[in-house]
Structure 1
Amino acid sequence: MAIDHSRAATSDWHRRAACVGQDPEIFFPLADTLAPGADAQAALAVCRRCPVLLACRSWAISHGEDAGIWGATTAAQRRAVHRAAVESGAPR
């Protein structure tokens, strides 16, 4: 049986994420704004050094993740990206 490595690479991104082992609380700040404040800075710093940032962001957008910081974006930012994609007819 052949293994589809391209699919495996996209499905296991979470194991390679920089946030593995971090305190999950930092990724769920109280404020959900388009411009994250000081409460989100720790999460954003982790995301910015993450080798799978884009895969994380894409997953969160495509799965409608509506809480926390994913791929250096807030839920409000992801909703805006999703809305823009729907309005432009772009594939999600």
Structure 2
Amino acid sequence: GSLVLAAGWLLPLRSVHRVTLLRGGSAVTIGTPGPLGLGRRSFTVPLRDVSGRAHRAEVAAAIPIKVRGRPFFFLLDKAGQLSDPRLFDLTVGAFRKF
């Protein structure tokens, strides 16, 4: 019971709803569902603190994104829509060493 509740609380927090590159290209806003999938949460981080850990073409279902200072990975569904895939690859999807 409590394990299911913990998974239901934490997993939506790691699923990415929206990624927005802010004007100037130096920061990114990442939006996720709230705990238990209720509501929405978002946070803004500098682009230098975001690293795509695998290329879009290499993953089967979700693109893992690491944000410096946050535990675990965020998962961006590969079936989602990218308005500019090349821009995504060069910004959010780029691998950076932390």
Calculate the TM-score normalised by the size of structure 2.
Answer: 0.25
Structure with bigger strand share is 2
Greater gyration radius: 1
Calculate the TM-score normalised by the size of structure 1.
Answer: 0.25
Structure with bigger helix share is 1
